[in-house]
């Protein structure tokens, strides 16, 4: 693909300042997302998924900071923009759907006010009637009856609230939307209808998505490529149809695949990954996954593996020594 990537992460590290020194939640991450592409990001809690999302939006709070590397959205460096530029850029070009729809919406504003608020603060010169018309259009797009415009968030169901949050995220037709576990708190049926809708809207107004989730099967269905994050690193980036084939993946990916009971497989056996996700303060040496890895060798304890370009995508594991090395950080 020769287009300009919508998102370009280069050697990105994000750390939290702690009394024990900086703790890296995102560790040397590289990624390009192209126009109209949906990329999934899977990882356990504490693996750095949300930190990465907030870093891209330049919304890091408190002690978190970008330690190294660059984030470019549509070719522009997010961290070199002035506050005014950033304000115009954010939401118009890049927006985000937050995890909890209840806390993402203001409980004392009606749905209409919140959509109009977004429109008027990010788009200069929009008139109130235009904004109101756009709000109606947006609700149609996410298939909520227009009568709910005058309602407050608590009057809506969880699924409807999440739809409103999505409507607000796409209000200015951004080129890139980050979705941080948008369906985690919802029931399966509601989740499915929201995912169907995201896909439909995405075909319609053509934006790229970084879809963050901990649910493997969900991401595999939605995304074209899936990045698997463990202890702040992308241990594997693979085309999602490849995920169906066991073998030739990162041991962590394979562990995750074995850990989910399959809905339709003939025999149901599952196998957990032994041990617990690592503590970022005391990260294991070498490959961070080696204490839990069934095929770990001495080398894994000492050296961080390079990223290999395998037929199944980019994998950071010594098992694939012999394949082409992409880079070593």
Partner 1 sequence: MSNATLVDVKDMVVRFPIRTGRGRSFITPVDRVSFTIDSGEVLALVGESGSGKTTIGKALLRIEEPSAGTIQVGNRDVTHIKGQALVRYRNDVQMIFQDPFGSLNPVKTIEQHLFFPLKKHQGLRGTELYDRTGELLERVGLTPVPETRIKYPHELSGGQRQRVAIARALAVNPKFLVADEPISMLDVSIRAGVLKLMNELKRDMNLSFLYITHDLASARYFGDRIMVLYGGHVMETAESSDLLRRPMHPYTKLLLAATPGNPVRQPLPETSNQAPDLLEGRKGCVFATRCPLVTDLCRNEKPPLQSLDAGHAVACHYAV
Name the site residues for partner 1 (rule: CB under 8 A): 44-45, 157, 159-160, 187-193, 196, 214-218, 220-221, 255-256, 258-264, 268, 270-274, 276-277
In the bound state with partner 1, the residue whose beta carbon lies nearer, of 23 and 195, is 195
Give 22 or 46: the residue with its C-beta nearer to partner 1: 46
Cα–Cα separations (whole angstroms), residue 170 to 118, 119, 184: 10, 10, 20
Angle between the 158-169 and 188-205 helix axes, to the nearest 10 degrees? 20
Q: How far is the CB of 262 from partner 1 (least distance, A)?
A: 6
Tokens 């649910």 — which residue? Answer: 215
Two structure tokens written together for 32? 């390009």
Give the nearest distance from C-beta 85 to partner 1 in angstroms: 39
> Please, what is the minimum distance in Å from the beta carbon of residue 274 to partner 1?
8
Length reported for the chain? 329
**In this complex, which beta carbon is closest to partner 1, that of residue 45 or of residue 127?**
45
Q: Which is nearer to partner 1, 171 or 218 (CB)?
A: 218
Token pair 């463990």 in the structure block, residue: 230
Provide the minimum distance between the beta carbon of 294 and partner 1 in the complex, in angstroms, as a whole number: 13
Q: How many CA atoms lie within 13 A of 157 on its CB side?
A: 9
Q: Minimum CB separation from partner 1 for residue 66, in Å?
A: 26
Helix (H, G, I), strand (E, B) or coil at 102: helix
CB of 189 to partner 1, least distance (A): 4
Structure tokens at 122: 């990010």
- What are the tokens at 327? 């880079």
User: Cβ distance 90 to 144 under 8 Å?
Assistant: no
**Residue 10 or 44 with smaller CB distance to partner 1:** 44
CB 310 within 8 A of CB 291: no
Which of 78/315 has CB closer to partner 1?
315
Which 3-state string (H, E, C) describes 197-224?
Answer: HHHHHHHHHCCEEEEEECCHHHHHHHCC
């Amino acid at each position: 693909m020769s287009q300009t990537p919508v998102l370009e992460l280069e050697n990105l590290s994000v750390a939290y300042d702690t009394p024990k020194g900086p703790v890296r939640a995102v560790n040397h991450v590289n990624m390009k997302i192209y126009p109209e592409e949906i990329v999934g990001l899977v990882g356990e809690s504490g693996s750095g998924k949300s930190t990465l999302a907030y870093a891209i939006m330049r919304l890091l709070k408190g002690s978190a900071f970008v330690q190294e590397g660059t984030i470019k959205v549509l070719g522009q460096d997010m961290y070199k923009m002035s506050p005014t530029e950033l304000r115009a850029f954010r939401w118009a070009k890049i927006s985000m759907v937050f995890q909890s729809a209840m806390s993402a919406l203001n409980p004392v504003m009606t749905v209409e006010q919140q959509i109009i608020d977004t429109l008027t603060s990010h788009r200069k010169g929009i008139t109130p009637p235009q904004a109101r018309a756009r709000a109606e259009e947006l609700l149609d797009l996410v298939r909520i009856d227009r009568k709910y415009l005058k309602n407050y968030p608590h009057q809506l169901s969880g699924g409807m609230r999440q739809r409103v949050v999505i409507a607000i995220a796409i209000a200015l037709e951004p080129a890139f939307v980050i979705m941080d576990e948008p369906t985690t708190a919802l029931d399966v049926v509601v989740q499915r209808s929201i995912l169907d809708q995201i896909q439909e809207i995405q075909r319609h107004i053509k934006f790229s998505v970084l879809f963050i989730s901990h649910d493997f099967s969900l991401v595999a269905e939605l995304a074209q490529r899936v990045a698997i994050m463990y202890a702040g690193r992308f241990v594997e980036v693979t085309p999602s149809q490849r995920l169906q084939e066991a073998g030739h993946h990162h041991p962590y990916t394979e562990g995750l695949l074995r850990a989910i009971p399959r809905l339709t497989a003939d025999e149901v056996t599952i196998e957990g990954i032994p041990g617990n996700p690592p503590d970022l303060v005391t990260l294991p040496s070498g490959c961070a996954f080696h204490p839990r890895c069934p095929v770990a060798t001495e080398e894994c304890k000492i050296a961080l593996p390079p990223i290999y370009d395998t037929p199944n995508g980019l994998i950071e594991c010594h098992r694939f020594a012999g394949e082409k090395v992409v880079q070593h950080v």
